[in-house]
Amino acid sequence: MAEHPDCALVRRGYEAFAQGDLDTLATLFTADVTHHVPGESLIAGHHKGREAVLQLYRRMAEETRGTFRIELQRVMADGRGHVISVHKAYGDRRDRGIEMMNGIFFTIVGGKVSDLDECVKDIDVMNEFWAA
C-alpha cells in the first residue's frame, strides 16, 4: 500500500530539515505557516510566516553549532489534512546535550504544511536546553 500523500509531504520535510535544505522546506510550507514551539526558552513561541519558521530553524542550527538533528520514528495521517510525527531530537548546546522524544501535529492545506504544533516529552528539559 502506498504511503498517504500527507505523510509523504511530512517525510520530505524531515529529510530537507536533516540536510539543512531550507529552500526545499520553503516549498513545502504555505506563506502563512506557523510553527508553535512550547515552553519558555529562546525558541519558544508562535513563529508565523514562512520566513519566521525558516529563521527558527536557522537559529536552532546556529545555537547548536550544527549538532541539532532529528531522527524520524513514525508518521501517521488521518486522511483529513492532519499528520502526527514522532521523532527523536539530539543536539549539543553550550555545556548541555539533549536526546529526547518529541512529536509534531501538522495541518496540511492544499498539499502544503500550514501549521506545526510541537509537543515534547519533557518541557523542563527542553526549556533548560534552549535557555537564553
Domain range summary for the chain, segments of one domain joined by +: 5-129
pLDDT in tens, the chain (132 residues): 789 999 999 999 999 999 999 999 999 999 999 999 999 999 999 999 999 999 999 999 999 999 999 999 999 999 999 999 999 999 999 999 999 999 999 999 999 999 999 999 999 999 999 998
The grid cell for 21 is 535544505
Single-letter residue type at 77: A
C-alpha cell at 63: 545555537
Q: Tell the CATH topology of 5-129.
A: Nuclear Transport Factor 2; Chain: A, (3.10.450)
pTM: 0.95
Query: What is the CB-side half-sphere exposure of residue 24 using CA atoms within 13 A?
Result: 13
What grid cell was written down for 53?
A: 519558521
Which residue's C-alpha cell is 501549521? 115
Report the Cα–Cα distance between both ends of the chain, in Å, rounded: 46
- C-alpha cell, 36: 508553535
Cα 90 from Cα 66, distance rounded (Å)? 11
What pLDDT is stored for residue 52 in this prediction? Answer: 98
Q: How far apart are CA 62 and CA 52, in angstroms?
A: 15
Q: Report the alpha-carbon distance of residue 105 to residue 82 in Å, rounded.
A: 7
Q: In a 3-state reduction of DSSP, which class is residue 61?
A: helix
Residue type (1 letter), 27? T
